[in-house]
Amino acid sequence: VFLLRKVLIASTTEYHLGLLKAKLAKYRAQLLEPSKSSAAKGEGFDVMKSGDARVALIGFPSVGKSTFLSLMTSTASEAASYEFTTLTCIPGVIEYKGANIQLLDLPGIIEGAAQGKGRGRQVIAVARTADVVIMMLDATKGEVQRALLEKELESVGIRLNKSKPNIYFKPKKGGGISFNSTVTLTQCSEKLVQLILHEYKIFNAEVLFREDCSPDEFIDVIVGNRVYMPCLYVYNKIDQISMEEVDRLARRPHSVVISCGMKLNLDYLLEKLWEYLALTCIYTKKRGQRPDFTDAIILRKGASVEHVCHRIHRSLASQFKYALVWGTSTKYSPQRVGLTHMMEHEDVIQIVKK
């Protein structure tokens, strides 16, 4: 009887927690939406997207973001030893492996940025449009900055280094709530799913769990405006801490240690950034000529020959006969391939038209 009572208490606590999380997410979303009366005073600082990828530099004031931008790009961003030197968004371009990567130096974030403190809303809005976030942290400040920044970004729907929950969710016009799962669920039950949906005034929907997800992840799927992006935690000023501390920080997941002042480990950071952006360079070749290694086509990892055709010209895919490919994606070079062939980094392609 005592055990049964314990199980009942635990399960009811879970339901209440799930419901409270749904209510919290709902109220937080209402709080973060800017009121119509206080609309558009002052200006935003969104920068036109250019290059092959966009990287946003986020961090507290005076952690070395502007120094990093000046070192990595030909853009000079004002850097000084006082806080809030950068007051607007400054774009720069990193040229690496034939790709142009747009790097945005954003103003320093302060605690409460999600509520609009210190132009925090505009900073976070720009960060949502990036392909990768570089979170600049002061190595001398320990873990405090990382936790605070993660909390600020989490509260506005930016999920760092997480994949989208594998949940199929479709609202319907009638028929009630249809619930299914292909795996054993340990964090969510059918009753809890129904309670969360009712909280969002959804009474007819189809829900299919393909993985064991938490109530928070299910709420993310319902809300639907979450951004899932890779993030690199970059610890700057490692020349001011002990070797043991540098070693500890470097071993943390998704972390890189650097020193902008002494120009330490910047080349490794670029390598990691390229890995997180998941870009591939494809070179083209004309018949009877040598490949053109000066002008690469930059595509996302997992791109096919069809993607290459669309990048060269939109009508090329319809005139496509076959392609000859040299590189790591082929069994032998050159290999004759079709539109569905998957390209790999630094492959050379020659397209033959009908």
Note the pLDDT tens digit of each residue in 329-340.
889 888 898 989
Instruction: Kindly state the average pLDDT of the residues 255-275.
Output: 87
Q: What is the spatial distance between Cα 336 and Cα 3, in angstroms, rounded to a whole number?
A: 67
User: How large is the angle between the packed helices 266-277 and 65-72, nearest 10 degrees?
Assistant: 90
Q: Which residues contact 198 (CB under 8 A, 6 or more apart)?
A: none
List Cβ neighbours of 76 (8 Å cut-off, separation of 6 or more): 70
Q: Does residue 326 have a pLDDT over 80?
A: yes
Mean pLDDT, rounded, for 271-297? 87
Query: Mind listing the pLDDT tens digit for each residue in 7-55?
Result: 445 456 666 777 777 777 776 665 555 544 444 444 455 666 777 888 8
| pTM recorded for the entire structure | 0.76
d(C-alpha 61, C-alpha 57), whole Å? 11
Peptide bond into 230 cis (omega under 30): no
3.40.50.300, 3.30.470.10, 3.40.640.10, 3.40.50.12500: CATH of 36-161+227-277: 3.40.50.300
User: What kind of architecture, by CATH, is found in domain 280-353?
Assistant: Roll (3.10)
More confident residue, 91 or 325: 325
Query: pLDDT value at position 108?
Result: 65
Q: Quick one: pLDDT at residue 112? A: 55
Domain boundaries for CATH 3.10.20.30 within the chain: 280-353
Q: What is the mean pLDDT of the chain?
A: 79
Would you give the DSSP letter of residue 86?
Answer: -
pLDDT of residue 6: 46
Q: Could you tell me the CA-to-CA distances from 220 to 123, 227, 230, 283, 338 in Å, in that order? A: 22, 10, 17, 40, 39
Q: What is the mean pLDDT of residues 167-178?
A: 88
Question: DSSP assignment, residue 304?
Answer: B
Q: What is the pLDDT of residues 201-211, one digit of tens each?
A: 888 889 899 98
Q: Determine phi and psi for 76, rounding to 5 degrees.
A: -100, 115
**The pLDDT of residue 273 is above 60:** yes
| pLDDT confidence of residue 83 | 46
* CA–CA dist 319, 325 (Å, integer): 18
> How many helices and strands (H and E) does the chain possess?
9, 16
Residues of the chain with CATH 3.40.50.300: 36-161+227-277
As a whole-number percent, the residues of the chain with pLDDT over 90 amount to 2
Instruction: Give mean pLDDT, residues 58-87.
Output: 68
Worst-scoring range by mean pLDDT, 148-157, 243-252, 306-315?
Answer: 148-157
Task: Give dist(CA 88, CA 45) in Å, integer.
Answer: 7
* Mean pLDDT confidence for 298-306: 87
Neighbouring C-beta atoms of residue 194, cutoff 10 Å: 17
pLDDT tens sequence across 132-146: 888 888 888 867 888
Residue 272 has pLDDT above 60, yes or no: yes
3-class DSSP state for residue 61?
coil
Q: Is the pLDDT confidence value at 3 over 50?
A: no
Q: What band does 348 get if pLDDT is binned at 50, 70 and 90?
A: very high
Structure tokens at 92: 């720069």
